[in-house]
Amino acid sequence: MSIKHLLWEKRTEFRGGELSEYFDLGKLGSARPEELRFGLPEASRAEVVSCIGEKSALRGNWDTETCELDLAESPAEQTDTHVTVAIGREGDAIVVDGFGELLRARGKEEAIPVRVGLVHAQWQKFRNQIMNFVDAHKGRVYQKIHHPDLIRIPWLHGDERLELMKPEMPITSGTVLDIGANWGYWSHALTRLGLTCTAIDYNPKNALFVRKLRRAMSGTFEFRQMSVFDLPGVLSYDLVLGLNIFHHFLRYRDTFELFVDLLGRLDTDHMFFEPHCPEELAADDAYRNMEMDEFVQFIVDNSCMTQSRLLGTVTNGRKLYLLSR
């Protein structure tokens, strides 16, 4: 890891001014009931609750005392009509109030509203890193973050594509290669569907975020910080994700040739593919540019894929395809 990257990592842990409006106490997050598994011993819980509204971040080791939540033994009284959580230093959502609401929600699959009362001071540093990124990228993260605290941050891409994929998912178990994983949205999502994912991203900044989010969201997928072109030999996976990534390989002759080689080494039965809108590369003097349907055919011609099916068009005008062997 370079000194430049280490300096960036430490510098972005700090942020001037007031707490972002996205983390206001009145702005609710959300979580699936099954994710809310941790509580605190009563003395520690009472201390944390007493600080809510007074502090946004709390130092100390209170978050190291977590235990599996037993709703049958939770305090009978509650002061909040929402489930209230505190976020530990590594992102764990720790329930501190609203136990009755959580008990009523247990067994449901859909997410419920949660109030984030406060966070550990170390988690606040990670928040700062994300918000400094947001400031530099038009006020939003690239993809929605399904974490009780961070889901409140605006995003460019939400769950629209995932909802198109779910009814067309070609496998219910097996391996997935997530190319250009960014912060791990797809690997988290497909892992929850029972698949075994390997996420690949070359960017060291993305690597920091995907690793911390994997821990915070109890992700079980494998992450490799590397170029996908450096994966050796035949790449055997049941499913490959090529979503909003392959057009980056068209910009220069050398990456284009590596891309063609990569396609020839894929041994997969299925690929979800989302091409770019061709006007996005038109002004960049790219080595190659293709219309969306043309790009699909290019992949078919240069890989083990033989057929394609359009699943739909998303709000940014890009199309989503399922390619099969």
Q: What is the pLDDT of residues 153-162, one digit of tens each?
A: 999 999 999 9
State the burial class of residue 160 (Cβ atoms within 10 Å of its Cβ: 0-12, 13-18, 19+). Answer: middle
Q: Is 21 helix (H, G, I), strand (E, B) or coil?
A: helix
Residue 92 has pLDDT above 80, yes or no: yes
- Average pLDDT on 263-291 reads 93
Mean pLDDT on 281-291: 88
Residues contacting residue 182 through CB under 8 Å, at least 6 positions apart: 142, 143, 201, 206, 210
Q: Is 65's pLDDT higher than 60? A: yes
Q: Is the dihedral of CA 27, 33, 35, 37 positive or negative?
A: positive
pLDDT band of 16, cuts 50, 70, 90:
confident
Closest C-alpha among 131, 145, 139 to residue 14: 131
Q: Where are the domains of the chain?
A: 3-150, 159-324
In angstroms, rounded to a whole number, what is the distance separating the alpha carbons of residues 132 and 197?
A: 29
pLDDT > 80? residue 216: yes
Taking phi first (over 0 means left), then psi (-120 to 50 degrees means alpha), and beta for anything else, what does residue 138 get?
A: left
For the domain spanning 159-324, the CATH number is 3.40.50.150
What does the pLDDT read at residue 308?
A: 98
pTM of the model: 0.95
Nearest to 269 by CA among 291, 299, 238, 236: 238
